[in-house]
């Protein structure tokens, strides 16, 4: 059974803080797919996540480079943007899947080729107005059900 949780982000700093707060939950081999319109805040979410794993790297959008690696003392973050990739074969030819088990992988526009991974956490960012975003977390596979529970606990503690 899939689990769902959502939270409202009032501004860019909130989006980054949400990602920073939940980052320690994830381990090498985890896959997070980020969905949302252009300008929704997917890369800002990744920036916060990188802060949460204590990466000292500057996070930039991989729209043109396709993928960026960010190192931290604990894990490696693989940040992929599929916006410019046209086919699943083109994606496979990049060889990035070979790194999935050696990193936490965050994929922008990852539903473009739905089904290339069996289990993942779907993070959808919906624009509400100029500043606020509704961030939804959905488990796709049993592995991520307990992660949804952890995320909910972390983000609803006051």
Question: Which CATH entry fits the domain spanning 4-156: 3.40.50.620, 3.40.50.300, 3.40.50.1370, 3.40.30.10?
Answer: 3.40.50.300
The pLDDT of residue 158: 52
What is the C-alpha separation between 5 and 131, in angstroms, rounded? 20
User: Domain spans of the chain?
Assistant: 4-156
Q: Per residue in 53-107, pLDDT tens?
A: 999 988 988 878 899 999 999 899 999 999 999 999 999 999 999 999 999 999 9
Q: Go through the chain and tell me how many residues it has.
A: 158
Helices H, strands E: what count in the chain?
4, 7
pLDDT band at 138 (very low <50, low <70, confident <90, very high): very high
Give the lowest-confidence range in 1-5, 21-25, 138-142.
1-5
The pLDDT of residue 61: 86
- Considering the chain, what percentage of its residues have pLDDT values greater than 90? 84
What is the C-alpha separation between 114 and 31, in angstroms, rounded? 13
- pTM comes to 0.93
- Among 135, 111, 116, residue whose Cα is nearest residue 20: 135
The pLDDT of residue 60: 85
CB contact at 8 A, 20 and 12: no
DSSP state of 2: -
pLDDT band at 145 (very low <50, low <70, confident <90, very high): very high
The pLDDT of residue 114: 76
Rounded alpha-carbon distances, angstroms, from residue 128 to 29, 40, 144: 32, 9, 26
The pLDDT of residue 62: 83
What is the C-alpha separation between 18 and 47, in angstroms, rounded? 11
Residues 6+ apart with CB under 8 A from 152: 5
CB contact at 8 A, 20 and 47: no
CB contact at 8 A, 104 and 77: yes
């Amino acid at each position: 059974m899939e689990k769902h949780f959502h939270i409202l982000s009032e501004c860019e700093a909130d989006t980054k803080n949400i990602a920073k707060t939940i980052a320690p939950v994830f381990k090498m081999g985890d896959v997070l797919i980020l969905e949302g319109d252009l300008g929704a805040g997917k890369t800002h979410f990744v920036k916060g996540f990188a802060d949460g794993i204590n990466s000292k790297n500057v996070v930039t959008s991989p729209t043109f480079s396709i993928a960026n690696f960010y190192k931290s003392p604990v894990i490696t973050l693989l940040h992929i943007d599929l916006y410019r990739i046209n086919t699943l074969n083109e994606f496979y030819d990049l060889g990035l899947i070979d790194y999935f088990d050696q990193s936490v992988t965050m994929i922008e526009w990852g539903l473009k080729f739905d089904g290339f991974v069996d289990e993942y956490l779907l993070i959808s960012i919906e624009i509400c107005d100029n500043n606020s975003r509704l961030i939804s977390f959905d488990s796709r596979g049993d592995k991520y059900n307990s992660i949804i529970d952890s995320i909910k606990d972390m983000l609803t503690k006051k």
